[in-house]
Structure 1
Amino acid sequence: MELTSREEYIIKRKRKKIKLKDLAQALNCSEALICKYEKGHLELKADMLEAYQNYIDVR
């Protein structure tokens, strides 16, 4: 079974021990927004998704 990009980034975030609180602060959004995205309840806008991925990749 292939992982989705979303699942891959959740795994990366957890392996790097990046907390939702820190990620949300860096992206200037709420923890709830990131949580809902990671659970698949909503999609992030393109610019927010890019910032989410870049933050995780760089850390």
Structure 2
Amino acid sequence: DVDGVYTADPRLVPEAQQLSEISYEEMLELASYGARVVHPRAVELGELFSIPILVASSFTDSPGT
């Protein structure tokens, strides 16, 4: 479970910052290169049908990305 989308893996890069927003294109690129936050097909369908995608933790009150 994650708090949102980060600039890098926060477990490996302590300076990684959480993004408040990210475009479908940017998220698709991250997902295509192995970021396992959101499946690439989910991003494609979200963009195709204009569905907002929220990446947030179910364990914290973080607003997510």
TM range, normalised to the smaller chain? 0.3 to 0.5
Which one has the largest radius of gyration? 2
The higher relative CO (CA closer than 8 Å, separation ≥ 6) is in 2
Q: TM-score, normalised by structure 1?
A: 0.33
